[in-house]
Amino acid sequence: MAVKGHLLDVDDLRREDLERILETARSFSEVLRRPIKKVPSLRGKTVVNLFYEPSTRTRLSFEVAAKRLSADVLNFTASASSVEKGESLKDTALTLRAMGVDAVIIRHPVAGAPCLLRRWLDVTVINAGDGMHAHPTQALLDLFTMRERLGDMEGATIAYVGDILHSRVARSGMKACRAAGMRVVAVAPPTLMPPAVPDYVEVSHSFDAVIPRCDVIYMLRIQKERQQEARFPSLEEYARLYQLDKERLRKAKPGVVVMHPGPMNRGVEISSEVADAPHAAITAQVSAGVAVRMAVLFLLLGGGEGGGVLA
């Protein structure tokens, strides 16, 4: 049986793998500017999008990436509520195995679901977000976007701002930034900060104090349900302390890069003017998403037996 590579979280990647993915993604961003944006590299491979959670951009991004590489794509969308955890995921996995797919891209509300899937399947598993745990391709595309804007990232400072506690984007992103040699600051009210953060992460509750030294400001989405959980008194109160608006942006370095994983709540974590300002790399993140996911699919599926970068 072929030993296949997987991508479950950023810590699966060695520094050279990270480099290789970013370099390959740069080549693919050129492919995406061609008149015919399709290459035959994964012809005959079948990729399944197994999404147990609503997602537009991640699912579409993986679908476009796979199609640009000439792979066949199957989309499986299930609402988490209608699917029983555990056993039924296993049955789905066995069905997919019987169909002879080459890779499964999974998004699941339960942390660890991709890991279980890998245990049951002998095909490539790619985590497209599991619970509050990890979202490695988002972290990679964020790193790619930062590198395109900043060049060398060694020693640069990034602040993740907002709902760190529930954010798999921040959790994977911080690891990736750390691997790239960046300084990482987590900014959130105490109620949205995890009880423990890795020791390389600096914790702050004051956005205003952190802004002037940031090279990258990464705004996280505030889910409105969090207010019902009494994590903060009101959205207005939250916005007053943690929204990135024009006033706050003025205190940042002139070349600061503003990022957001989307979808944005304009007027909550980020003001509309800032979202549309030239500092914002938010649409660049979306474009990077396709190139980076092409790189990941190509490197995991494109080589021979045991060919994947993570094999």
> CA–CA separation, 7 vs 242, rounded Å?
33
Which CB atom, from 33 or from 250, has the smaller least distance to another protein?
33
**27 binds another protein per the rule CB under 8 A:** yes
Residues forming a β-bridge with 7? 126
- Rounded least distance, CB 27 to another protein, Å: 4
3-state SS record for 216-271 = EEEECCCCCHHHHCCCCCCHHHHHHHHCECHHHHHCCCCCCEEECCCCCCECCCEC
The 268-297 contact track toward another protein, x by CB under 8 A, reads ---------------------------x--
- The token pair that represents 292 in the structure block: 């980076």
**39 binds another protein per the rule CB under 8 A:** yes
**309 binds another protein per the rule CB under 8 A:** yes
Catalytic one among 85, 90, 97, 253?
85
**41 binds another protein per the rule CB under 8 A:** yes
Which CB atom, from 24 or from 265, has the smaller least distance to another protein?
24
> CA–CA separation, 250 vs 273, rounded Å?
12
Residue range at the interface with another protein (CB under 8 A); choices 31-39, 52-60, 173-181, 185-193: 31-39
Is 213 part of the annotated catalytic residue set?
A: no
Residues in Cβ contact with 59 at an 8 Å cutoff, skipping those fewer than 6 apart: 49, 51, 75, 77, 107, 128
> CA–CA separation, 250 vs 211, rounded Å?
9
Catalytic one among 59, 68, 118, 135?
135
**Residues that contact another protein, how many (by CB under 8 A):** 23
Residue range at the interface with another protein (CB under 8 A); choices 19-27, 51-59, 241-249, 253-261: 19-27
**303 binds another protein per the rule CB under 8 A:** yes
**16 binds another protein per the rule CB under 8 A:** no
Residues forming a β-bridge with 187? 161, 204
> CA–CA separation, 68 vs 189, rounded Å?
42
> CA–CA separation, 286 vs 299, rounded Å?
20
Q: Catalytic amino acids? A: 57-58, 85, 107, 135
Residues that bind another protein (CB under 8 A): 20, 24, 26-28, 30-31, 34-36, 38-41, 295, 298-299, 302-304, 306-307, 309
